[in-house]
Copies of this chain bind each other. A is one copy, B any other.
Amino acid sequence: MKFAIDILIERKEGVADPEGNTIKDALRRLGYDSVESVRTSKMFSVVVEVNSPAEAKQIAEEIAQKVLANPVIENFKIFNIEEAG
């Protein structure tokens, strides 16, 4: 069975986000004065061919931990495990 999984990789609290800060500054210059902060993160939508949602989740966790996230500065969240196709 195919399962689609979303993996969100975000910076840990306190880790600087220069891209987010640049976007915040740009938005303010454009007149969006109500914008107080912008934090960026990365989403990976992965489709895996496995036998169960539990297996899909396990692979997603491994991938997130070993490949996608830098554990020193990033956290990951796994959600939306759904049968696909």
> Does any Cβ of B come within 8 Å of A49's Cβ?
yes
CB <8 Å contact, B20 and A63: no
Report how many copies the assembly holds: 2
Give, as a whole number of angstroms, the nearest-CB distance from A66 to chain B: 8
Task: Tell me the bound Cα distance from A2 to B30 in angstroms.
Answer: 20
Q: List 13 A-B contacts (CB under 8 A).
A: A10-B43, A23-B44, A23-B67, A23-B68, A27-B63, A32-B59, A32-B62, A39-B44, A39-B45, A40-B44, A41-B42, A41-B43, A42-B42
Query: What are the nearest 8 A-B pairs in CB distance?
Result: A36-B47, A39-B45, A41-B43, A34-B48, A37-B47, A34-B49, A34-B50, A38-B46
